[in-house]
């Protein structure tokens, strides 16, 4: 299949396997520093894969990761990718009040900008945790100096989602919100943009959904994944539920191959270049 002429946004949420929200009941935050951290090698693999396909992307990165692996951040920036914020410590926005949320996004921005040497414009909430009940978060993002967010997923999900939100880039106050991509089908939004959905569905279905969004809806896709999703040798977390185990590990060994097909089948770029322009 030839690369689709429309440009889409490729995004990577830079966090390690032990930091995912679903593992929070099993891995206390106090244990993070003693866990085997695998994010550095996985980001390097992603950078090599992007270089192979001459593709630029946006890396929504935790401040916690940036503090400990500054050379990873410098490699992301030196390769021409956009560095954006995923907050500091992967705390869900919906679990914080306005003051704690502002402190989290502000310190993350300062850490990332110090390493990047340029303005960090974008933010993505951990686990897409901005929704109807905490739209005040956009005022905090504007006050902290962010220019866009990609924090709302317009789907129904047991942990997140705002199914009635617009599917396209739109303003909330003065902040541009660029949601993860969905396909409208049978009066419902269906996830079409990465993560566990991409690992679960046949690749051909994912490709068809993105092509439909480009060609029929005439919208760019916003695709996301995590470095731990290409790491089939990551330590297994014991005593988790069957549902959590399935969601985290399903088809993880096939992820890199599928990503390479996706990079070949579509045109991809950075979030800021696509939605804010290159100026």
CB 87 within 8 A of CB 125: yes
pLDDT of residue 3: 46
Give dist(CA 19, CA 42) in Å, integer. Answer: 15
Residue 171 tokens, joined: 């303003």
CB 93 within 8 A of CB 21: no
Locus of tokens 């029929």: 216
Residue 213 tokens, joined: 């969004």
Count of Cβ atoms closer than 10 Å to residue 3 Cβ? 12
CB 82 within 8 A of CB 271: yes
**Domains by residue range for the chain, with CATH:** 4-275 (3.20.20.370)
pLDDT of residue 6: 66
CB 12 within 8 A of CB 227: yes
pLDDT of residue 183: 93
Per-residue pLDDT of the chain (279 residues), as tens digits, is 344 456 999 999 999 999 999 999 999 999 999 999 999 999 999 999 999 999 999 999 999 999 999 999 999 999 999 999 999 999 999 999 999 999 999 999 999 999 999 999 999 999 999 999 999 999 999 999 999 999 999 987 666 668 888 999 999 999 999 999 999 988 889 988 888 899 999 999 999 999 999 999 999 999 999 999 999 999 999 999 999 999 999 999 999 999 999 999 999 999 999 999 864
Identify the bridge partners of residue 123 per DSSP, sorted by sequence position.
85, 149
Name every residue whose Cβ is closer than 8 Å to that of residue 191 and which is 6 or more positions away in sequence: 153, 155, 180, 182, 197
């Amino acid at each position: 299949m030839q690369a689709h002429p429309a440009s889409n946004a490729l995004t990577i949420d830079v966090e390690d396997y032990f930091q995912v929200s679903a593992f929070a009941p099993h891995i206390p935050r106090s244990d993070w520093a003693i866990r085997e951290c695998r994010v550095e090698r996985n980001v390097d693999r992603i950078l090599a894969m992007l270089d192979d396909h001459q593709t630029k992307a946006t890396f929504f990165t935790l401040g916690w990761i940036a503090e400990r692996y500054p050379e990873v951040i410098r490699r992301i920036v030196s390769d021409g990718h956009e560095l954006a914020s995923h907050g500091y410590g992967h705390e869900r926005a919906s679990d914080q009040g306005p003051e704690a949320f502002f402190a989290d996004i502000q310190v993350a921005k300062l850490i990332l900008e110090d390493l990047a040497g340029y303005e960090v414009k974008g933010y993505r909430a951990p686990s897409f945790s901005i929704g109807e009940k905490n739209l005040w978060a956009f005022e905090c993002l504007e006050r902290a100096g962010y220019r866009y967010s990609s924090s709302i997923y317009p789907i129904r999900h047991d942990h997140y989602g705002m199914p009635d939100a617009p599917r396209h880039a739109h303003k909330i106050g003065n902040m541009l919100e660029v949601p993860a991509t969905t396909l409208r089908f049978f009066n419902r939004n269906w996830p079409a943009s990465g993560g566990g959905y991409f690992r679960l569905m046949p690749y051909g279905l994912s490709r068809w959904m993105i092509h439909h969004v480009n060609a029929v809806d005439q919208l760019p896709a916003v695709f996301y994944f995590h470095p731990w999703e290409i790491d089939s040798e990551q330590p297994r977390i014991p005593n988790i539920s069957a549902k959590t185990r399935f969601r985290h590990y399903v088809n993880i060994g096939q992820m890199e191959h599928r990503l390479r097909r996706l990079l070949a089948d579509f045109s991809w770029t950075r979030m800021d270049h696509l939605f804010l322009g290159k100026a």
